């Protein structure tokens, strides 16, 4: 238990239920901490990863201790998978039976083989296989794809192999042993075409994968920003109190509003400032759009700083411009490639 965060440890060991309820009702500004086990509710854990090219655990993870087994949310990269399995093994002997890939990206699914080696089965929405067939061309017999790119920069990927999920659902997949219930569902197109969220109705906890992040981590290239706003609306209807994001700290229901507001305002500003302009003219407005978004305190943390490692803003603008006009900001190709490379580095080339 040494790595359980202070709040989680206190919650587990010392606090009365009433005091714990009070803490849950009034969460601290940053309830989770990178690399620390975070007890969200009895038997339910969150683990914040680090978006960096060198980190073992890049995406956020969750795990739920059921009566007879452990369900893990997201497989992470192979090194992250090993780290998470080690942390679970230190707290329980229950077998790790399932690893849910919330989507096909490498930082959420490339650890599948490690989970399989330890006896678990990778689970996902059936659309994840379609996404993998589209993108993981090397695995399916085509040209090298994102896995092979990631293997160039990550030794853990190089030493492992791609293992697509083998238990697939459409509609809904429910884990329920009477004590705990996890409803895995696909709410619509968002970060990809096959995102899963995991809803724990008893505790009102929602694991969002990358449908909702908490910081400048939105990669929009494989999804649809317009539909994403609607998918977040569907997520809000579940009535969650605790939101476990795909990247960045754990949060509360308002993070769904913040994520949605970022996309709404991005679309509004690109629509108002750029959509009626030709690509060359429109391109000159990107920094104006960025500055405008930065002024809104609710969403400023979603806007990457210009030139930083997290700066995928130009590619976000390009995607929205394409969605609104049907036209590619061709002149942006160089920036987009730079953004993809920056994002690929931090996500182990997963999105390349
Ligand atoms: Zn992703």
Asked if 77 contacts 110 with a C-beta cutoff of 8 angstroms, the reply is yes
CB atoms within 10 A of CB 264: 16
Quick one: 273 exposed, middle or buried, by C-beta within 10 A (0-12, 13-18, 19+)?
Answer: middle
* Percent of the chain residues past pLDDT 90, beyond the cut: 78
Residues within 5 A (CB) of ion ligand 1: 105, 210
Average pLDDT, the chain: 89
Assign 260 a pLDDT band (cuts: 50, 70, 90): very high
pLDDT at 90 exceeding the cut of 80 = yes
Cα(217) to ligand 1 centroid in Å equals 9
**What's the CA-to-centroid distance between 74 and ligand 1, angstroms?**
11
The predicted model gives 42-68 an average pLDDT of 94
Decide if pLDDT at 343 tops 60.
no
**Residue 122: what are its φ and ψ, rounded to 5°?**
-75, 135
Q: What's the pLDDT tens digit per position in 279-323?
A: 888 999 999 999 999 999 999 999 999 988 778 899 999 999 999
Residue 329: pLDDT band with limits 50, 70, 90: confident
3-state secondary structure of 154: coil
- The predicted model gives 109-122 an average pLDDT of 98
Between the CA of residue 349 and those of 67, 130, 145, what are the distances in Å?
A: 37, 19, 9
The number of beta carbons lying within 10 Å of the beta carbon of residue 139 is 18
Distance 129 CA to ligand 1 centre (A): 15
Under a CB-based contact definition with an 8 Å cutoff, are residues 170 and 185 in contact? no
Asked if the model's pLDDT at residue 21 lies above 70, the reply is no
The alpha carbon of 34 and the centre of ligand 1 are apart by a number of angstroms equal to 18
pLDDT of 344: 53
Q: What is the pLDDT of residues 203-249, one digit of tens each?
A: 999 999 999 999 999 999 999 999 999 999 999 999 999 999 999 99
Euclidean distance between CA atoms 313 and 294, whole angstroms: 11
Per-residue model confidence (pLDDT) at position 37:
93
Report the separation in Å between the CA atom of 294 and the middle of ligand 1, taken as the mean of its atom positions.
23
Mean pLDDT on 185-200 = 98
Query: Distance between CA atoms of 288 and 294, rounded to whole angstroms?
Result: 10
Q: Residues 118-150: pLDDT tens digits?
A: 999 999 999 999 999 999 999 999 999 999 999
Cα–ligand 1 centroid distance for 124 (angstroms): 14
- Rounded to whole angstroms, the Cα distance separating 45 from 65 reads 9
Q: Residues with Cβ < 8 Å from 307, sequence gap 6 or more?
A: none
Task: Examine the pLDDT at 11 and tell me if it is beyond 80.
Answer: no
Confidence (pTM): 0.87
Q: Regarding predicted confidence, which is higher, 61 or 275?
A: 61
């Amino acid at each position: 238990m040494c790595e359980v965060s202070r709040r989680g440890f206190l919650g587990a060991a010392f606090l009365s239920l009433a005091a714990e309820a009070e803490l849950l009702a009034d969460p601290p500004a940053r309830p989770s901490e990178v690399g620390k086990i975070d007890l969200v509710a009895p038997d339910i854990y969150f683990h914040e990863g680090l978006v960096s090219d060198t980190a073992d655990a890049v995406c956020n993870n969750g795990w739920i201790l059921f009566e007879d087994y452990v369900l893990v949310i997201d497989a992470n990269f192979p090194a992250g998978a090993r780290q998470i399995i080690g942390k679970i093994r230190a707290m329980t002997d229950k077998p790790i039976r399932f690893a849910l890939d919330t989507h096909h990206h490498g930082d959420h699914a490339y650890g599948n083989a490690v989970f399989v080696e330890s006896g678990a089965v990778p689970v996902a929405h059936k659309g994840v296989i379609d996404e993998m067939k589209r993108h993981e061309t090397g695995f399916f017999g085509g040209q090298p794809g994102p896995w092979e790119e990631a293997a160039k920069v990550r030794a853990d990927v190089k030493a492992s192999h791609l293992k697509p999920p083998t238990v697939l659902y459409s509609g809904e997949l429910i884990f329920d042993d009477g004590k705990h219930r996890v409803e895995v569902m696909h709410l619509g197109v968002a970060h990809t075409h096959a995102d899963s969220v995991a809803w724990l109705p008893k505790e009102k906890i929602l694991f969002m994968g990358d449908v909702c992040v908490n910081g400048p981590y939105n990669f929009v290239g494989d999804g649809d920003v317009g539909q994403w706003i609607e998918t977040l609306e569907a997520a809000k209807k579940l009535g969650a109190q605790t939101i476990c994001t795909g990247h960045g700290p754990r949060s509360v229901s308002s993070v769904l509003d913040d994520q949605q507001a970022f996309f709404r305002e991005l679309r509004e500003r690109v629509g108002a400032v750029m959509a009626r302009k030709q690509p060359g003219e429109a391109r000159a407005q990107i920094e104006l759009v960025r500055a405008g978004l930065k002024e809104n305190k609710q969403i400023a943390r979603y806007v990457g700083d210009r030139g930083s490692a997290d700066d995928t803003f130009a590619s976000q603008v390009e995607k929205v411009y394409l969605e609104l006009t049907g036209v590619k900001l061709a002149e942006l190709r160089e920036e987009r490639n730079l953004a993809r490379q920056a994002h690929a580095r931090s996500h182990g080339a997963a999105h390349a």
